[in-house]
């Protein structure tokens, strides 16, 4: 994801039906294909922390429930779509269509992605995972300020699940360390 080399800090709001909880999500690219992700409470305490690379999720801190294989797989997929890891090393990027100033691509990666991007700027507006049997698809929308290439707002939803994650950009850290 653009701007993640120094680190991005988002206000993260999780909603499931009537329940709402929020925290801070920190994401930093530490290697060309490796991200460090931390979820903090508003009080600053880190609740969840992991590295995401080609080998999957490597937990640094987690809840017992998140360590379950099925949940971990879903979390990994969500973050791969959210962070657009398929673009870090796109095996095959194939243009599917061009329409109204937008380009739609198919990305052969794990998971496979379908992307919609602005033709003029190349900014990704929407991403979802592809798959033959895909009942709970991860769908992510990206919203930018006029000139920026770092998403100001990100919205992650799933098909068939009343759960969503909304991210609002709080801070961009320069890549100094």
Partner 1 sequence: MLYRNILLLVLAVAICSFQPGKEEFTAMKDVAAFRAGLSKMAAATKSIKASFTQEKYLAILANTIESEGTIQFKKPNLLKWEYTTPYQYAIILNGKELIINDQGKENSFDIASSQAFKQINELIVNSVQGNILDEERFSIKYLESKNHYQAQLQPKEEQMKKFLKGIDVYFDKANYTVAKIRLTEPEDDYTLITFKNTRLNESIADDIFAAKKKKQ
Which residue number, 83 or 103, has a Cβ lying nearer to partner 1?
Answer: 83
The structure tokens listed for 151 are 């998403």
Nearest-approach distance from CB 18 to partner 1, in angstroms: 9
Nearest-approach distance from CB 151 to partner 1, in angstroms: 17
Nearest-approach distance from CB 4 to partner 1, in angstroms: 11
Binding footprint of partner 1 on the chain (CB under 8 A):
6-7, 9, 11, 13, 19-22, 24, 26, 28, 30, 36, 38, 40-47, 60-61, 63-64, 170-171, 173-177
Which residue number, 46 or 104, has a Cβ lying nearer to partner 1?
Answer: 46
E strand residue ranges, the chain? 8-16, 19-31, 34-40, 46-53, 56-61, 92-99, 102-108, 113-118, 124-129, 138-143, 153-158, 161-172
Nearest-approach distance from CB 142 to partner 1, in angstroms: 20
Nearest-approach distance from CB 172 to partner 1, in angstroms: 10
Which residue number, 21 or 143, has a Cβ lying nearer to partner 1?
Answer: 21
Which residue number, 21 or 136, has a Cβ lying nearer to partner 1?
Answer: 21
Calculate the alpha carbon distances from 99 to 7, 23, 66, 112, 125 in Å: 33, 37, 40, 22, 14
Q: What is the DSSP letter of 85?
A: G
Strand order of the sheet with strand 56-61? 56-61, 46-53, 34-40, 19-31, 8-16, 161-172, 153-158, 138-143, 124-129, 113-118, 102-108, 92-99
Which residue number, 64 or 147, has a Cβ lying nearer to partner 1?
Answer: 64
């Amino acid at each position: 994801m653009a701007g993640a080399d120094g680190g991005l800090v988002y206000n993260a709001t999780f909603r499931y039906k009537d329940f709402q909880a929020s925290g801070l999500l920190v994401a930093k690219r530490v290697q060309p294909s490796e991200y460090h992700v931390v979820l903090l409470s508003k009080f600053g305490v880190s609740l969840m922390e992991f590295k995401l690379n080609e080998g999957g999720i490597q937990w640094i801190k987690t809840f017992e429930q998140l360590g379950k294989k099925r949940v971990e797989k879903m979390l990994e997929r969500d973050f791969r779509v959210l962070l657009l890891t398929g673009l870090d090393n796109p095996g095959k990027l194939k243009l599917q269509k061009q329409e109204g100033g937008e380009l739609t691509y198919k990305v052969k990666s794990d998971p496979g992605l379908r992307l919609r991007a602005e033709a003029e700027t190349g900014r990704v507006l929407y991403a979802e995972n592809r798959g033959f049997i895909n009942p709970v698809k991860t769908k992510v929308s990206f919203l930018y300020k006029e000139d920026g290439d770092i998403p100001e707002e990100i919205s992650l939803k799933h098909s068939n699940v009343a759960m969503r994650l909304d991210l609002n950009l709080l801070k961009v850290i320069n890549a100094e360390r």
